[in-house]
């Protein structure tokens, strides 16, 4: 397993486990409500053609987050074998 990084640094098609949400206040609440609690598996689905935001598969829904927001979610990347 690779070291910790943030959600916005992952390439499209990769998977990761949420380890911590760094955001505070309302953004934090929103992210939690979307299901980004520690232990959640997230798939990076695609990036907007303009480069930002990025769409993630979070608990079965495709949610787009801007990089400033995704950058406040700590994750540990999963290898491909864990993806299936």
Partner 1 sequence: MSTRTILGDLMEEAKNIVGPRQDQVRDSVVKSIFQAAENIAGEVVSCSSPGRANWDRKIDNIITSPVWGFPSMFGLLAVVFWVTLSGANVPSAILAEGLFWIEDRLTDLFAALHAPAWLHGFLVLGVYRSLAWVVSVMLPPMAIFFPLFTLLEDSGYLPRVAFNLDRFFKKAGAHGKQALTMSMGFGCNAAGVVACRIIESPRERLIATLTNNFVPCNGRFPTLIALATIFVGGSVAVFPGSAMATLAVAGLVVFGIAVTLLVSWVLSRTLLRGEPSSFTLEMPPYRKPQVGRVIVRSVLDRTMFVLARAAVVAAPAGGFIWLLANARIGGTSALAIIAGWLDPLAGCMGLDGFILLAFILGLPANEIVLPILIMGYVCGGAMTELNSLADLRQLLVDRHGWTWLTALCTMLFSLCHWPCGTTLLTIYKEQRNWRWTVAAALIPTAVGVVVCMVVNNLVRTLDWV
Partner 2 sequence: MGLTYQSTGKLATREIFNVPASIRQPVVALAGNPNTGKSTVFNALTGLRQHTGNWPGKTVLQAKGSYIHDGRKYTLVDLPGTYSLLANSVEEEVARDFICFARPDATVTVVDATCLERNLNLVLQVMEITDKVIVCVNLIDEARRKNIRIDSDKLSERLGVPVVTTAARSGEGLSRLLDVISDVVFGRVQPKPRLVRYTPEVEEAIARLEPGIRALVGGEINARWVALRLLDGDIKLGHSLEIFCNRREPVRAAREVLV
Query: How far apart are CB 59 and partner 1 at their closest, in Å?
Result: 8
Dmax (CA) for the chain in angstroms is 35
Site string for partner 2, 30-59 (x = CB under 8 A): x--xxx----------------------xx
Query: How far apart are CB 1 and partner 2 at their closest, in Å?
Result: 25
Nearer to partner 1, 4 or 48 (CB): 48
Compute the residue count for the chain: 84
């Amino acid at each position: 397993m690779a070291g910790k990084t943030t959600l916005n640094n992952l390439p499209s098609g990769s998977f990761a486990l949420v380890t911590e949400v760094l955001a505070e206040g309302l953004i934090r609440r929103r992210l939690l409500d979307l299901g980004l609690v520690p232990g959640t598996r997230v798939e990076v689905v695609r990036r907007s053609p303009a480069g930002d935001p990025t769409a993630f598969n979070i608990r079965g829904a495709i949610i787009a987050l801007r990089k400033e927001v995704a950058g406040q979610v700590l994750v540990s990347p999963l290898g491909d074998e864990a993806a299936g």
